[in-house]
Amino acid sequence: MVFIWKILNYDSLNYFAHPTAIIDVNCTIGKGTKIWHFSHIMTGAIIGNNCNLGQNVVVSPKVLLGNNVRVQNNVSIYEGVICEDDVFLGPSMVLTNVINPRSALSRKDQYKTTLIKKGASIGANATVICGNTIGEYAFIGAGAVVTKDVPAFALIIGNPGRQTGWMSEYGHRLKFDSTNKAFCTESGQEYVLENNRVKRI
């Protein structure tokens, strides 16, 4: 009966949810967002405009997703996670919210905040340990394990994750010249490296 109601009332919603998706009461879901097969949006979750949540995605209470966030299949986003605009979460990547979980102990009062800032991408099967911040337009490679804060534009690979370079907003590796300047090969945007930090000029 619930699925039939959803099918009949899609036109009254500002977002799309597949009939197999479960949308709990008191969620905020922005205009143009799409929620696909077998996903579950829990009470109190806030999802921005024009997001795309793939198959088998879970968004827990109090999670905040900005606008144009892309969540690929099989990703669970737990309470304590904040994704700013234009974040990409790759297939089956993992987020946590407790540092030292034990089945016999409730640690809901110890959730750590994980902040994924604007434009960051996290590759397939990567893991982000809770309590860390991933900077703007950082790029976390497939299978990497993030154990500490990540600077803006940084490229992180491996387990434990280590920085091996810098990425442009368009997702291309930056090659800095003798003046510590680099250009994105796709956009032509110019970047400068100062004090081991990158910014776009």
Residue 94 has pLDDT above 80, yes or no: yes
Q: What is the mean pLDDT of residues 20-36?
A: 96
The amino acid that residue 147 corresponds to is T
Evaluate whether 128 touches 146 at the Cβ level (below 8 Å): yes
Whether 75 maps to a domain, the answer reads yes
Whether 37 maps to a domain, the answer reads yes
Whether 182 maps to a domain, the answer reads no
- The predicted-structure confidence for 48-91, as pLDDT tens digits, reads as follows 999 999 999 999 999 999 999 999 999 999 999 999 999 999 99
Specify the number of domains making up the chain.
1
Domain of residue 87, CATH code:
2.160.10.10
- The predicted-structure confidence for 106-155, as pLDDT tens digits, reads as follows 999 999 999 999 999 999 999 999 999 999 999 999 999 999 999 999 99
Whether 175 maps to a domain, the answer reads no
Whether 183 maps to a domain, the answer reads no
Q: Dihedral sign, CA of 171, 177, 182, 188? A: negative
Whether 198 maps to a domain, the answer reads no
Which structure tokens are listed for 31? Answer: 């205009």
Whether 180 maps to a domain, the answer reads no
pTM of this structure: 0.92
d(C-alpha 48, C-alpha 187), whole Å: 26
Evaluate whether 144 touches 164 at the Cβ level (below 8 Å): no
Boundaries of domain holding 59? 2-98+110-169
